[in-house]
Structure 1
Amino acid sequence: MEPVIELAQLTKKYGDFTAVNKLDLSIRPGEIFGLLGPNGAGKTTTILMMLGLTEPDSGTATVCGVDATRNPIQVKRRVGYMPDDVGFYEDRSGLDNLIYTARLNLIPEKEARERALELLKRVGLEAAAHKKVGAYSRGMRQRLGLADVLIKKPEVIILDEPTLGIDPEGVRELLVLIRDLSRNEGLTVLLSSHHLHQVQQICDRVGIFVRGQLIAVGDLDELTRQLETKANYKVEMDLAGWSPELEEALKRIDTVMEVGLTESDALTGGAAPANASAAGGKYVTVRVISGSDVTPQLASTVVGHGASLYGLRPVRYGLDDIYHRYFEGGESRERVD
């Protein structure tokens, strides 16, 4: 399957400052891709080059099979772009603004009105269709912005910090809306953000962007595997009846590399759940690191040594951990100029 967005060695400099440095990126049709990085990382500059709104110093940006630098008008016809602050005519209604955008895209007036009303309903603004945009909240404006980019039925939508300034409930609703639109209509979505947990909620893959360079790309599992250098599997077990003999037995399981109490339990011991009072022994949480999935062996070994097992769960890096590990290690990895 051909990528819908293909960036190859894309580079943009402003004097001595390199905003985007030899960027290679492929985005597949129908996926939601999160471009994650701090403010000033080069995300918006990258988006502007994809849209043909600024020229790269070198490299290419191909969107929907079209070279964005050579044919920016063709790209704009097929891509919907929502900046972090969408401009509307404040003294006109949401419906009027959408119809105006549709007419600019050469959509006949009758069809423009029908499509605008349909989109206002889909983004939850049906009741505010005739309300002046100047009276819209920030969240309502972003919803209207999403309808605005969809009015011309694009193949790709690019959203630059779409949740900026919205309250938590508004953020949740907007993200659900974006995800549903992508899934139901096969839209390809590029979402630029510096909010880790928001990207994690809806994106199929994430690219971590630091100082003009993409230093890691993948879904959460792939990024975890890229980051992990010691082992692929970590498991925590909550149990009562911890003993040196049990610790040694766990260490003898094939591929197990490390066994130990979590830091808090190593110092003080854990607070046992109500049903653990009769189990005997100290209630603790034990972390096991291994080179393969040994969950069944761990459980049988704990029970076989007379201990009581109350919980067993895998431990994975969250996107927050991954992002900060990559970001903090950016210079040492020699990926960033």
Structure 2
Amino acid sequence: MKTPIIELKGLTKCYRSLRAVDNLDLTVYKGEIFGLLGPNGAGKSTTILMMLGLTEPSSGLATVCGFDATRNPIPVKRKIGYMPDNIGFYNNMTALENLVYIGRLNGIPESEVKERARDMLDEVGLSGAMHKRTATFSRGMKQRLGLADVLIKQPEVIILDEPTLGIDPSGVKDFLALIKQLSRQQGLTVLLSSHHLHQVQQVCDSVGIFVGGKLLAEGNIDTLASNLFASDPFVVEIAVKNEVPPTLETDLLAIDAIKKVTVNGQLLQISGSTGSTPDLVRLLVQKGMDITGVQQRSYGLDEIYERYFETNLNENSSSEKSSGLFQRSFFKKRK
């Protein structure tokens, strides 16, 4: 049975007429890596601040590790390791000195704080740089040191707010792999807040799509895809060498599972309710088509995000505005 670690019920935060977080219900389970996905200004950071007991909700409840974050913020802070999007260190101190200082602030006994700091630096791959001043560190190295910072008090939950900002692609890949490894090895519950779809998809077990202060969809990627693409969950693209005859579309639609056929030059995109790739290939060969490639599509977060808002644009005008900005900025970067 899954153990809930983070439980948000009706969580709401208003700043005068602005609802930064609107009636949020969310459960994150022990050992899970949960991605809180949404554009800048969606309310992700405000939600995190309420979970940490750093800002009081207008209504609703945030419970972390069984503690009410508003009424008992100190026990919550002991259980959570939090890394903000812009973490700072004392530049004139080494990585080890910074981490020992943080350890002392967290109440780690003097007899073990240095050893634990060294262990954490080794854990995040910085043992070779522990005696270097942090002023010389790259952004990626500082993020690794930030991860050691949140892990040194041995939390049950770590919250990472936009942890990959400013890191090069290679560094992002390594950092996300490190998070996944630590979660699996130590049973850590991870809440990762980000607006980068592909990064969230790489590392998270489940995601929540968060826009305009509201959680619009939640679940693992397969579940979200099956819900949103229930009418045509199966899509295959088949490239052919010869010209596609006009009658081929009718022949393909005669297969029971096939619902739609799109012909774009020498590329056929075929969608339906169930997988039928062998039948499709067999029919095309019988019709004399010279097949050069077959690829079955698997739906990712970008398709899920785009399709979700295609069906929800009219429900909330603020969601429409935010999602449009998010999609334009995201797809522009991917081109």
* Shared fold, TM over 0.5: yes
1:320 aligns with 2:302: yes
Give the alignment partner of residue 248 of structure 1, picking from 247, 250, 256. 250
- CA deviations on 1:179-233 (whole Å, 9 max, x unpaired) are 1111221111111111122111111111111110111112222222233264221
Task: Tell me if structure 2 keeps the 8 A contact 1:31–1:187.
Answer: yes
Unpaired runs of at least 5, structure 1: 266-283
1:231 aligns with 2:232: yes
The CA distance in 1 between the partners of 2:205 and 2:57, in whole Å, is: 27
- CA deviations on 1:33-62 (whole Å, 9 max, x unpaired) are 111111111000000011111111111111
The CA distance in 2 between the partners of 1:40 and 1:68, in whole Å, is: 22
Q: Of the two, which has the highest radius of gyration?
A: 1
* 2:60 corresponding residue in structure 1: 59
**Residue 104 of structure 1, CA deviation:** 1.9
Return 215-224 or 178-187, whichever deviates more: 215-224
Task: Tell me if structure 2 keeps the 8 A contact 1:99–1:109.
Answer: no
Task: Tell me if structure 2 keeps the 8 A contact 1:215–1:330.
Answer: no
**Residue 329 of structure 1, CA deviation:** 5.6
1:134 aligns with 2:135: yes
* 1:302 corresponding residue in structure 2: 284
The CA distance in 2 between the partners of 1:183 and 1:229, in whole Å, is: 32
The CA distance in 1 between the partners of 2:192 and 2:309, in whole Å, is: 19
Task: Tell me if structure 2 keeps the 8 A contact 1:91–1:133.
Answer: yes
* 1:273 corresponding residue in structure 2: none
- CA deviations on 1:121-180 (whole Å, 9 max, x unpaired) are 121211211112222222111110000000011111000011111222221221111111
* 2:216 corresponding residue in structure 1: 215
**Residue 305 of structure 1, CA deviation:** 2.4
**Residue 110 of structure 1, CA deviation:** 2.9
Give the 3-state SS of the residue equivalent to 2:4 in structure 1: coil
Give the 3-state SS of the residue equivalent to 2:9 in structure 1: strand
The CA distance in 1 between the partners of 2:109 and 2:204, in whole Å, is: 35
Q: 1:133 to 1:329 in 2, by over 3 A?
A: farther
Q: 1:120 to 1:156 in 2, by over 3 A?
A: same
Cα RMSD for the two superposed structures? 1.8
**Residue 4 of structure 1, CA deviation:** 1.0
1:286 aligns with 2:268: yes
Letter in 1 for 2:259: M
Q: 1:327 to 1:48 in 2, by over 3 A?
A: farther
* 2:29 corresponding residue in structure 1: 28
Letter in 2 for 1:168: P
Unpaired runs of at least 5, structure 2: 320-335
- TM-score normalised by the chain length of structure 1: 0.89
Q: 1:137 to 1:300 in 2, by over 3 A?
A: same
Q: 1:293 to 1:202 in 2, by over 3 A?
A: same
**Residue 333 of structure 1, CA deviation:** 3.0
* 1:155 corresponding residue in structure 2: 156
* 1:42 corresponding residue in structure 2: 43
- TM-score normalised by the chain length of structure 2: 0.89
**Count of residue correspondences:** 317
The CA distance in 2 between the partners of 1:331 and 1:20, in whole Å, is: 19
**Residue 318 of structure 1, CA deviation:** 2.8
* 1:279 corresponding residue in structure 2: none
Return 5-14 or 109-118, whichever deviates more: 109-118
* 1:274 corresponding residue in structure 2: none
* 1:270 corresponding residue in structure 2: none
**Residue 328 of structure 1, CA deviation:** 6.2
The CA distance in 2 between the partners of 1:296 and 1:151, in whole Å, is: 53
* 1:116 corresponding residue in structure 2: 117
**Residue 295 of structure 1, CA deviation:** 1.7
The CA distance in 2 between the partners of 1:224 and 1:162, in whole Å, is: 26
Task: Tell me if structure 2 keeps the 8 A contact 1:330–1:336.
Answer: no
* 1:14 corresponding residue in structure 2: 15
* 1:101 corresponding residue in structure 2: 102
The CA distance in 1 between the partners of 2:258 and 2:130, in whole Å, is: 61
**Residue 87 of structure 1, CA deviation:** 2.4
The CA distance in 2 between the partners of 1:32 and 1:289, in whole Å, is: 32
* 2:325 corresponding residue in structure 1: none
Q: 1:40 to 1:222 in 2, by over 3 A?
A: same
The CA distance in 2 between the partners of 1:31 and 1:237, in whole Å, is: 37
Give the 3-state SS of the residue equivalent to 1:5 in structure 2: strand
The CA distance in 2 between the partners of 1:92 and 1:117, in whole Å, is: 15
